[in-house]
Amino acid sequence: MKDLGFSEEKIAKYHQLAHAMQSGVAAMQHYDATPTSPKHLRVGVNSAMVETTVIVEILVAKGVLTYDEFLDALIAGMEREVQTYESKLSELTGANITLG
């Protein structure tokens, strides 16, 4: 794999947030499993991966974005996703849910 110069700290932060979001998805399955069916997940994941990769490659090639800036934005987006699951689960359970 090409070394993009990502900081280990940022990679670790992203992985921690991704795990927290994963915990939120797993908990939500107990309330509504439809959005997490295998076909839904596979199609969604593959589409998102392709779209994100292509957009970032174009922006980096044009000098609009660096990979480090992309990683910062990715972390911020994952933080928002974790907060979304924390809010949904807190509302559903009546408890103060903190993921990650």
pLDDT 10s digit of each residue in the chain, 100 long? 466 677 889 889 989 998 998 898 888 888 888 877 887 787 878 888 888 999 999 999 999 999 999 999 999 999 999 999 999 999 999 999 999 8
pLDDT of residue 22: 87
> pTM above 0.75?
no
pLDDT of residue 2: 61
Q: 29-59 burial string, b = 16+ CB within 10 Å, else e?
A: eeeeeeeeeeeeeeeeeeeeeeeeeeebeee
Which residues have a Cβ under 8 Å from the Cβ of 5 and sit 6 or more positions away?
Answer: 67, 68
Which residues have a Cβ under 8 Å from the Cβ of 59 and sit 6 or more positions away?
Answer: 65, 70
Q: 57 with 46: CB under 8 angstroms?
A: no
H or E element at residue 40: helix 38-61
